[in-house]
Every structure is written in C-alpha cells, then in structure tokens.
Amino acid sequence: MKNSLRANVKRGSLAGVASVGAAALLLTGCGPAPQAGTPTATASDYSGCIVSDSGGFDDQSFNQSSYEGLKKVEKELGIKVNQVESQTNNDFEPNLRAMVSAGCDLTVTVGFLLGDATKKQAEANPDSHFAIIDFGYAKPIANVKPIIYDTAQAAFMAGYLAAASSKTGTVATFGGIKIPTVTIFMDGYADGVKYFNEKKGKNVKLLGWDKAKQDGSFTGDFVKQDKGKQLTQNFLDQGADVVMPVAGPVGKGAGAALKDAKAAGKDVKLIWVDSDGFLTAPDYKDIMLSSVMKQMGNAVETVVKEDKDGKFTNEPYVGTLANEGVQLAPFHDLDSAVPAEVKTELDQIKKDIVDGKLKVESAASPKA
C-alpha cells in the first residue's frame, strides 16, 4: 500500500516535471522556421585551433583569455575554430596531433607544460603553424611563435598603486604555484612597492614574496579557493590591507576573505591579475582596486590575423606596456579612492618604463 502510494507520488511528480518541460518547450518552440537552404555566411577555409592545458577554457586565466581571443577572430574573419581541452598532461600530445590531422593552419597551445608536445608536433609537421602562450624556447623553432609577456612592468605599477593606497602600511601578494609566469607578477609588485618607499621615504611592508630570496607564499595549485582565503586571512591578521593573488581562480578565495573583512568594517582592497577583474570577477567589484592585465586575447587575435595574411613569423610576441600587451586596468568604482597625485605618478612610471628610463627586472622576464 505504502509502496503503491509512493509510486503514485513519484509518477505524479514525474508527470509534473514532464508537463512543465513540455510547456517550456512549447513556449520556446513557437518561433518561425527559417527558410530552407538559407546560405550561411561565407566561411573562410582557414582554421585556427586551440589546445588548453589542464585548466580548461573556463579557468578565468590564460586558457580562457586565449580562447576568447580566438573566438573573437572566428566571428570577425569567418574562420573555422577547433578547440580541445586537455584533462591531464597526458592529453597534450594526442590533442595536438588530432589538431594537426584535423587540418589546422595555426594551433595555439597554452602554457609551458605544452612546450615539449608543441615542439614535437611542430617539427613533425613543418607546414603547420603553432603559437604557444607564456613559453619561449631557448632555441627558436621555425614554425612556432612564442607569445610571452613582460608582466613585471604592469605589476610594478600595481605594486606602486598598492603601496600608495595602503592605510596600514602593509600590502601582500601570494601565488598559485611557484612558476616563472607567476613569480614575474610578484617580482614586479615587490619592485613597485620598493620604488614607492624610495620615492616617498616610507616603509610599506610587503608580505608573501621576497624578491631577493625568490621565495614566498603559494597555495600549491590553481584550484583550491579555500587556501587562497586562508592565506589572505593570515595577511589581514598581519595588518595587510591590499592583496594581489596571482593564482587564477584561487584569487576568488582572496576576494572572499577581503569581502568578509570589508563587511567587518575594514578598508581593504584587491588587485586582480590576468584579466580586468572588475569585468571577470564582478562579485568583488566594490573592493577591486585594479588589475594587472595580460592581453592574451589581443595577442592571439594578432597572430591569427598575421598568419591568415601569410605573414607568420617565429619572432616571439612580447607583451609590454609599450605595445599594451600588459596593462594596469582602470580603477572603475574605486576611481575616487585613488588620489589624483597617485594617478599622475602612475602615468609617469608607465612613461618611464616605456621609455626605458625605469628598468623593471625579474628573473622570470622574457629574454628578448
């Protein structure tokens, strides 16, 4: 009896779900049918392809930016785009090979981990072109274009901004994994803080990174947001009020900790990396001071356009402040929190770096 009752209830709920589903389908399904045989936009037979590392195209970091860059040219130039996500490092080689056999003209690979696999496929397929993000070869390969960034330049500005904005005289940064593409942010940031102290005769302390020792705080991966939150909490307890997480999605952990602190009445700020966090991590809008942007989308766009026009070279693309490959993002909502004086100084710093008057050096800087 009980059983049959339960079965009825179950059936009833199923029917309910089904009817709701059907209703939804009816509501959405009453548009007019398109004319048969409508020609689609004339597509180029050029195909641009992209292979992610294990972060996937939704990593809110370099995979995503590169992917979005490619998607943008897909529409603009009407090219074909093939994409494949790698689940693990083991997928790199099969994925790349599949791309080559799918007839890709240019294959973009993302990250130093794909360096060996890209090299292997490039050498085996001299007629195909490749571009690799965030990795340069010691010996250039004829058909691989490295896309690298002198991130330290923009991070320097962020460090200066952080030091100038700090009320407590302590700022902080931490990384995901200790790799050059991460530590280059931290080096630039540290130098920016140092520059501020020299200029202003202040003593703003930096937590989380020691440039001389090349050692600091890391969460250990780009996944566990709670570790980012925990680290940020520690920094807050030590008096830091501006934090720059260089850890992809783990930065959200830092954002969460800072939001809690703000709710508790502290004046804290967050500096995002890779993309403009105001747009990509809008949850933290109200504490987002600025972002150190690597314009990977633009670079991918440029390289694809060049290749399509037959102007491919293996000359590395190095993103700098000068070519706007790296940038400090606008202050958006916190614009009023940054004094005009600091804005002028930042403009001057940018000019000096572009002119070469101010040298920003990092052990991880691209050797060009």
* Binding-site ranges for other proteins (CB under 8 A): 25-26, 28-34, 54, 56, 82-85, 87-91, 93-95, 98-99, 102, 112-113, 115-116, 135, 138, 177-180, 220, 363-364
Q: In whole angstroms, how close is the CB of 22 to other proteins at the nearest point?
A: 11
Q: In whole angstroms, how close is the CB of 56 to other proteins at the nearest point?
A: 8
- Whichever of 5 and 264 has its CB closer to other proteins, that residue is 5
Element (H, E) at 302: helix 296-308
Q: In whole angstroms, how close is the CB of 180 to other proteins at the nearest point?
A: 5
Measured CA to CA in angstroms, residue 311 lies from 115, 128, 304, 305, 308 at distances of 23, 14, 10, 8, 7
Q: In whole angstroms, how close is the CB of 183 to other proteins at the nearest point?
A: 8
- Whichever of 39 and 310 has its CB closer to other proteins, that residue is 39
Q: In whole angstroms, how close is the CB of 94 to other proteins at the nearest point?
A: 5
Query: How far is Cα 143 from Cα 18, in angstroms, rounded to an integer?
Result: 55
Residues listed for the chain: 368
Query: 68: buried, middle or exposed (CB in 10 Å: 19+, 13-18, 0-12)?
Result: middle
Report the first-to-last Cα separation within the chain, whole angstroms: 80
- Whichever of 7 and 279 has its CB closer to other proteins, that residue is 7
Q: In whole angstroms, how close is the CB of 222 to other proteins at the nearest point?
A: 12
Q: In whole angstroms, how close is the CB of 194 to other proteins at the nearest point?
A: 22
Q: In whole angstroms, how close is the CB of 98 to other proteins at the nearest point?
A: 5
DSSP 89-156: GGGHHHHHHHHHHTT-SEEEEESGGGHHHHHHHHHH-TTSEEEEET---SS--TTEEEEEE-THHHHH
Query: How far is Cα 29 from Cα 33, in angstroms, rounded to an integer?
Result: 10
- Whichever of 85 and 241 has its CB closer to other proteins, that residue is 85
- Whichever of 326 and 364 has its CB closer to other proteins, that residue is 364
- Whichever of 117 and 261 has its CB closer to other proteins, that residue is 117
- Whichever of 13 and 89 has its CB closer to other proteins, that residue is 89
Query: How far is Cα 187 from Cα 211, in angstroms, rounded to an integer?
Result: 6
Q: In whole angstroms, how close is the CB of 132 to other proteins at the nearest point?
A: 13
Query: How far is Cα 125 from Cα 229, in angstroms, rounded to an integer?
Result: 45
Task: Supply 368's token pair.
Answer: 């060009």
Mapping DSSP to helix (H, G, I), strand (E, B) and coil, where does residue 216 land?
strand
Query: How far is Cα 117 from Cα 70, in angstroms, rounded to an integer?
Result: 21
Q: In whole angstroms, how close is the CB of 101 to other proteins at the nearest point?
A: 9
- Whichever of 3 and 203 has its CB closer to other proteins, that residue is 3
- Whichever of 25 and 142 has its CB closer to other proteins, that residue is 25
Mapping DSSP to helix (H, G, I), strand (E, B) and coil, where does residue 69 land?
helix
Helix, strand, coil % over all residues of the chain, rounded to 5: 50, 15, 35
- Whichever of 84 and 342 has its CB closer to other proteins, that residue is 84
Q: For residues 221 and 55, is the Cβ–Cβ distance under 8 A?
A: no
